[in-house]
Chains A and B, each alone.
Chain A
């Protein structure tokens, strides 16, 4: 193979690698994609028309955010949130599609803060064709803005 051909292929391979790397980057999901875990709590959550942020309006409400995955593996997620009082928290949960291989991280608190703060959960084992989601316990004033994870 001639030197010119090798140079050309190496150049394009670099560009191809960059394109594929971009598609494998972290996935961002607005909290607004989630929903109340119990249907009777559907009235406990409001959404911002400016940021999509979810705000809890009940003393206690569960909110789950399904996360899309492309591959199995150990996965954590980073959530960006804030609260007005202690007690709100989120964890990562995974399971296989038959509901028989549960993996859950410890809860991490939603910080009491006037500005949004990002926190990362511990890893959970997401099986092939499994489910992966954020499980959050919210209180009045708890706000969830965004979730990042490796798909």
Chain B
């Protein structure tokens, strides 16, 4: 019996290690995002306290910005975004669909907090259902002087 238990514990450790690798959080810079409309491309630029080290995407317009997120597995997923805004109205939500554009799942929008420059805060959306071989992305409505820094989620 003792050897059986040792065998179980040894293999459980290997299984836990394998699962830990697939369940770790993924972090993505907002720089991987883009203007939702091609005509709004000029609305978004890099911004930072030190101009040599930009740290956020800064909006000069009222325009939509999306950040595509790569996933490794299906499931219900939320999204933590970090940013700031100069005025109320900027907001982000998580959106998912299958690869045929059906089964759209979208969380409620969460506001991008109004704070001072370089005082970034994080907010987490509700879960959305990401299908196998589906799409998952952040959909943000930006206003003038709003910024996005980073997105975290379980891949």
Contact = CB atoms under 8 A, between A and B. Distances in A.
A118 interface: yes
A43 interface: yes
Nearest to B13: A12
B45 interface: no
Contact of B72 (A1, A27, A43, A146): A27
A110 interface: no
- Residue from the set B4, B72, B101 with the largest chain A CB neighbour count within 10 Å: B101
Given A5-B6, A12-B8, A52 B22 contact: no
Contacts of A22: 22, 73
B151 interface: no
A12 B3 CA distance: 14
A32 B135 CA distance: 9
Contacts of A8: 4-5, 7-8, 11
Given A43-B38, A145-B101, A49 B66 contact: yes
B104 A4 contact: no
B36 A47 contact: yes
A12 B34 contact: no
Interface in A7-39: 7-9, 11-13, 15-16, 19-20, 22-23, 25-30, 32-33, 35
Contacts of B135: 28, 30, 32, 51-52, 145-146
Given A1-B3, A15-B15, A45 B38 contact: yes
A107 interface: no
A46 B100 contact: no
B3 A116 contact: no
Nearest to A116: B100
A12 B15 CA distance: 7
Contacts of B71: 28
Contact of A30 (B15, B41, B136): B136
Contacts of A7: 4
Contacts of A148: 99, 133
A147 B5 CA distance: 44
B3 A68 contact: no
A53 B38 contact: no
B24 to A, nearest CB: 11
A150 interface: no
A53 B102 CA distance: 11
Contact of A32 (B22, B37, B66): B66
Interface of B: 1, 3-8, 10-12, 14-15, 18-19, 21-22, 32, 34, 36-39, 41, 64, 66, 68-73, 95, 97, 99-101, 104, 106, 132-137, 139
Given A6-B7, A8-B8, 11 more contacts: A5-B6, A15-B15, A16-B14, A16-B15, A20-B18, A22-B22, A27-B70, A27-B72, A42-B41, A50-B95, A52-B66
